């Protein structure tokens, strides 16, 4: 807002200072609006933090509400010769695995030539897999193609064979290896033209210009004394939910592998549940409390929506469920409410509950379509938190209300700013008129004073 710097020259009054002081009084309502706006922004920020913490808690609860999560298993092996991975469809069990032989990929080598820059001849190399119905792949070889060039053409053909060059001390040899193990991936190579006979090999008879350096073979093993064969060293469809990887022959000494519930993963997620709840409770407590020692209130102190969320969470935490016959409350499984409102985990109780996994599973993941008292706490908290965060939930409504309040505050500030500009303009005009009038009166006063002085001298 512009000011007239010459104000007061005619009257001798400090008009600018007078207007500044008057405007300071006029601006007090705007200052109040700005302070209120800052407070609303702080409230919006804290509500956003609570929404984020509540969302994290809901996600953990949803995980615990999933029956599949409680089926999480882990595998163990007594030897690196056999490794094991499991999925949720695996059942607890023990197996004895004896690996007789590993699957192998067919490898053939052509006769040695002087170097990788040598040429062989011209014609066509045809590569045909032994099984699978794949069409034969033809590689056209020019007379100018070097051994390295032939290698590159084979690799570009996509025939399921990888070519490389081996320098064995006598020269450079073109080596072709099946990309996959097993007898189904054995391959035969035939040639036409001149100079390419060294690339030919018949997988059926084991004869040809190329030498067989490794025959295609299937893996052979026994699982609990039952024979198993596989095209690869990965047995993914032999046991439900279990994948065994054969890394070495065991020489008749079986490897013990086992599938068991993954209690460490379960325990970690259960502790995450307690941590997520405690973080949420601590945030709400800080935002809604009144500190009598500092006489300062939390940003959301007195906010009924947020206090209501706090009360609902506490009430559900202390409630009972008929989902499990062994555990009625969360505290029975080791989840204990502390004085400060946080949730701690009694490891001794939780370990004992994990030993009774079917009942602990029910306590969290049981779901009933007709009786909510039979629902597990995972589902209960997921539904409660999900409702609060939903489009019509209390958190969404509170965020929307605060945003609307901030918009109204901004509009009020804009209107107030316009009124203040008008007020200052009016005051400047009034004091300008007063300054002009005072200047005239001062001039008249000087004139009268002079005349009086003259009259006094003449008389």
Average pLDDT of the residues of the chain: 92
What pLDDT was estimated at residue 386? 96
Give the mean pLDDT of 1-7. Answer: 45
The closest alpha carbon to 183, from 149, 153, 150, 206, belongs to: 206
Distance CA 73, CA 304 (A): 44
User: In this prediction, what percent of the chain has a pLDDT beyond 90?
Assistant: 78
Question: Residue 437 pLDDT more than 80?
Answer: no
Q: What is the pLDDT of residues 23-76, one digit of tens each?
A: 889 889 988 989 899 999 999 999 999 999 999 999 999 999 999 999 999 999
In this structure, of 215-219, 286-290, 292-296, 448-452, the range with the lowest mean pLDDT score is: 448-452
Q: What confidence tier does 151 reach under pLDDT thresholds 50, 70, 90? A: very high
Q: What confidence tier does 5 reach under pLDDT thresholds 50, 70, 90? A: very low
Which pTM value belongs to this model?
A: 0.75
Task: Answer whether 420's CB lies under 8 Å from 30's CB.
Answer: yes
Question: Residue 160 pLDDT more than 80?
Answer: yes
**237 C-beta neighbours (distance < 10 Å), count:** 9
Task: Answer whether 248's CB lies under 8 Å from 221's CB.
Answer: no
In this structure, of 11-25, 76-90, 290-304, the range with the lowest mean pLDDT score is: 11-25
Q: What is the pLDDT of residues 103-137, one digit of tens each?
A: 999 999 999 999 999 999 999 999 999 886 678 99
Give the mean pLDDT of 89-107. Answer: 96
In this structure, of 79-88, 125-134, 193-202, the range with the lowest mean pLDDT score is: 125-134
Print the SS3 string covering the chain: CCCCCCCCCCCCCCHHHHHHHHHHHHCHHHHHHHHHHHHHHHHHHHHHHHHHHHHHHHHHHHHHHCCCHHHCEEEEECCCCEEEEECCCCCCEEEEEEEEECCECCEEECCCECCCCCECCEEEEEEEECCCCCCCEEEEECCCCEHHHHHHHHHHHCCCEEEEEEECCCCEEEEEEECCCCHHHCEEEEEEEECCHHHCEECCCCECCCEEEECCECEEEEECCEEEEECCCEEEEEECCEEEEECCCCCCCCEEEEEEECHHHHHHHHHHHHHHHHHHHHHHHHHHCEECCCCEECCCCCCHHHHHHHHHHHHHHCCCCCCCCCCCCHHHHCEEECCCCCEEECHHHHHHHHCCHHHHHHHHHCCCCCCHHHCCHHHHHHHHHHHHHCCCCHHHHHHHHHHHHHHHHHHHHHHHHHHHHHHHHHHHHHHHHHHHHHHHHHHHHHHHHHHHHHHHHHC
Give the mean pLDDT of 305-318. Answer: 95
Question: Residue 9 pLDDT more than 50?
Answer: no
What pLDDT was estimated at residue 132? 66
In this structure, of 1-10, 236-245, 416-425, the range with the lowest mean pLDDT score is: 1-10
What pLDDT was estimated at residue 426? 85
**45 C-beta neighbours (distance < 10 Å), count:** 12
The closest alpha carbon to 179, from 213, 216, 147, 139, belongs to: 216
What pLDDT was estimated at residue 341? 93
């Amino acid at each position: 807002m512009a000011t007239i710097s010459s104000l007061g020259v005619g009257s001798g009054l400090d008009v600018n200072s007078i207007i500044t002081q008057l405007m300071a009084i006029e601006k007090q309502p705007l200052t109040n609006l700005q302070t209120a706006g800052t407070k609303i922004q702080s409230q919006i920020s804290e509500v956003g933090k609570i929404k984020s913490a509540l969302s994290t808690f809901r996600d953990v609860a949803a995980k615990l509400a999933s029956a599949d999560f409680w089926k999480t298993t882990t595998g163990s092996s007594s030897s690196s010769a056999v490794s094991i991975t499991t999925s949720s469809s695996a059942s607890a069990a023990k197996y004895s695995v004896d690996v007789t032989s590993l699957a192998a990929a067919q490898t053939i080598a052509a006769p040695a030539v002087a170097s990788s820059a040598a040429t062989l001849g011209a014609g066509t190399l045809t590569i045909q897999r032994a099984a699978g119905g794949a069409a034969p792949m033809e590689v056209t070889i020019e007379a100018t193609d070097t051994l390295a060039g032939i290698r590159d053409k084979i690799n570009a053909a996509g025939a399921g064979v990888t070519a490389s060059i081996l320098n064995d001390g006598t020269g450079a040899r073109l080596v072709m290896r099946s990309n996959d193990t097993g007898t189904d991936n054995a391959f035969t190579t035939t040639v036409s033209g001149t100079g390419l006979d060294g690339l030919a090999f018949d997988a059926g008879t084991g004869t040809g210009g190329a030498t067989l350096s490794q025959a295609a073979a299937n893996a052979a093993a026994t699982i609990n004394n039952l024979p198993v064969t596989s095209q690869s060293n990965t047995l993914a469809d032999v046991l439900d939910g279990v994948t065994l990887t054969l890394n070495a022959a065991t020489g008749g000494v079986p490897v013990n592998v086992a599938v068991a519930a993954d209690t460490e993963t379960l325990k970690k997620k259960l502790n995450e549940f307690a941590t997520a709840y405690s973080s949420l409770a601590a945030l709400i407590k800080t935002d809604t409390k009144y500190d009598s020692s500092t006489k300062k209130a939390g940003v959301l102190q007195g906010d009924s929506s947020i206090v209501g969320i706090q009360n609902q969470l506490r009430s559900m935490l202390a409630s009972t469920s008929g989902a499990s016959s062994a555990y009625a409350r969360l505290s029975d499984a080791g989840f204990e409410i502390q004085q400060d409102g946080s949730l701690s985990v009694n490891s001794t109780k939780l370990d004992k509950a994990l030993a009774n996994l079917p009942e602990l599973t029910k306590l969290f993941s049981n779901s009933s379509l007709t009786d909510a008292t039979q629902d597990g706490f995972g589902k209960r908290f997921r539904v409660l938190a999900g409702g609060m965060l939903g489009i019509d939930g209390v958190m969404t409504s509170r965020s929307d209300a605060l945003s609307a309040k901030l918009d109204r505050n901004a509009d009020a500030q804009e209107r107030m700013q316009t009124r203040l500009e008008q007020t200052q303009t009016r005051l400047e005009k009034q004091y300008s008129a007063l300054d002009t009038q005072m200047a005239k009166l001062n001039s008249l006063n000087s004139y009268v004073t002079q005349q009086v002085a003259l009259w006094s001298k003449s008389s």
